[in-house]
């Protein structure tokens, strides 16, 4: 395998993906790129870093050529809440970046990982056990870019044979890097506040079910899909993957098992509540299980234990 490029590498997913991929392939074989945040000293010391805006086609091509890249994990994206504040920018970043990466894939015969999301569904999709193939009419700009992206990825495979694969991530919970501007971010913030303040003010209603996953499962699933035997892949792109489905009230109860005096209050953000209400409660991920062996390890309880253990050391 040649060199790997991660775009959006300083974000919530990229910053953990880089650690795992560098362990597997060697630090020098994984080039990490971003431009929104400045890289830390630790990132700069750990291996090759490029300042790269994925919406700049010439810059994407230059990085691919400079490092002889053969695989890109394209993680640069604007999330749902931020996307609603500036839909024009969300379209520009999410579609412009993806188009450039797909074009680089076509020109240089690259393998590509392109994430989709729970946001690719909308209010007319079946809400429970949302099937792999079903109605997708999202109402957020983020969701629109995700469905358009799924179609564009399929197109590049069908038309030019570009090996582009991807998953529909549910809300992702992690303890290394905070997410930014997503609707599912409450499920990360709540653990930080449970440790720091023993109370959390939640921007979603207590009964809002959403599909969720712990980051180690998301990272393992992404790499597993990229390594899967292509002859077994019927879908290839935009696989539903699921690990757990819960409400704010349920995650608060899971935390109270370990921090009994933790309390939750509610201060609803109508924009993000509207987005959450339009998304699935839970996914049917049987295609991912059958086609490439998806099998997550974390549920709400063992994730909560690990989050609280890790964050109490980190925030000491």
Which of the stretches 26-34, 61-69, 84-92, 181-189 binds ligand SER when contact is defined by CB under 6 A? 181-189
Q: Look up residue 232 and give its two tokens.
A: 């077994």
Which residue, 142 or 239, has its beta carbon nearer to ligand SER? 142
Asked if 100 is part of the footprint of ligand SER (rule: CB under 6 A), the reply reads: no
Selected binder of ligand SER within 184, 222, 240, 282 (CB under 6 A): 184
CB of 171 to ligand SER, least distance (A): 5
Which residue out of 142, 169, 209, 298 is catalytically annotated?
142
Under the criterion CB under 6 A, does residue 169 sit at the interface with ligand SER?
A: yes
Name the token pair of 130.
């949302």
* Catalytic residue list contains 169: no
- The rounded Cα 311 to chain-centroid distance in angstroms is 21
Binding flag, residue 80, ligand SER (CB under 6 A)? yes
Minimum CB distance to ligand SER smaller for 90 or for 110: 90
Smallest CA-to-CA distance from 17 within 6, 27, 25 is with: 6
Is residue 237 within 8 A of residue 273, CB to CB? The reply is: no
Which residues in 119-230 belong to E strands, given as ranges? 163-165, 167-169, 171-173, 199-202, 210-214
Choice between 169 and 239, CB closer to ligand SER: 169
Strands of the sheet containing 167-169, edge to edge, are: 116-117, 167-169, 239-240
How long, in residues, is the chain? Answer: 316
Between CA 182 and CA 302 the distance in angstroms is: 23
Q: Is 171 in the site for ligand SER (CB under 6 A)?
A: yes
Residue 11 interacts with ligand SER (CB under 6 A): yes or no: no
Q: Given the complex with ligand SER, which of 105 and 179 has the nearer CB atom?
A: 179
Using CB under 6 A as the binding rule, whether residue 118 contacts ligand SER is answered as: yes
Under rule CB under 6 A, residue 55 binds ligand SER:
no
Q: Quick count: other Cβ atoms within 10 Å of Cβ 161? A: 10
Hey, which residues are catalytic here? 142
């Amino acid at each position: 395998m040649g060199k790997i490029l991660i775009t959006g590498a300083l974000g919530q997913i990229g910053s953990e993906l880089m650690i795992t991929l560098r362990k597997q392939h060697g630090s020098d074989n994984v080039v990490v790129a971003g431009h929104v945040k400045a890289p830390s000293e630790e990132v700069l010391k750990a291996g090759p870093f490029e300042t790269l805006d994925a919406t700049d086609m010439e810059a994407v091509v230059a990085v691919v050529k400079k490092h002889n890249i053969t695989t890109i994990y394209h993680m640069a994206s604007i999330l749902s809440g931020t996307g609603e504040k500036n839909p024009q920018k969300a379209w520009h970043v999410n579609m412009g970046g993806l188009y450039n990466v797909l074009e680089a894939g076509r020109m240089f015969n690259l393998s590509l990982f392109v994430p989709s999301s729970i946001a690719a569904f909308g209010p007319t999709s079946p809400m429970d056990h949302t099937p792999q193939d079903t109605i997708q009419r999202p109402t957020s700009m983020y969701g629109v870019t995700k469905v358009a992206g799924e179609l564009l990825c399929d197109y590049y495979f069908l038309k030019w044979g570009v090996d582009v694969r991807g998953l529909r991530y549910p809300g992702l919970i992690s303890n290394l890097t905070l997410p930014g501007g997503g609707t599912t971010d409450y499920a990360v913030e709540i653990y930080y506040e449970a440790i720091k303040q023993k109370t959390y003010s939640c921007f979603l209603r207590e009964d809002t079910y959403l599909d969720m996953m712990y980051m180690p499962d998301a990272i393992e699933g992404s790499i597993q899909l990229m390594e899967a035997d292509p002859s077994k892949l019927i879908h290839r792109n935009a696989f539903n993957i699921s690990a757990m489905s819960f409400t704010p009230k349920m995650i608060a109860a899971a935390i109270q098992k370990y921090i009994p005096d933790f309390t939750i209050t509610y201060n609803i953000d109508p924009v993000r509540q509207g987005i959450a209400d339009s998304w699935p409660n839970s996914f049917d991920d049987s295609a991912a299980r059958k086609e490439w062996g998806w099998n997550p390890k974390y549920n709400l309880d063992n994730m909560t234990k690990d989050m609280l253990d890790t964050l109490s050391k980190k925030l000491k």
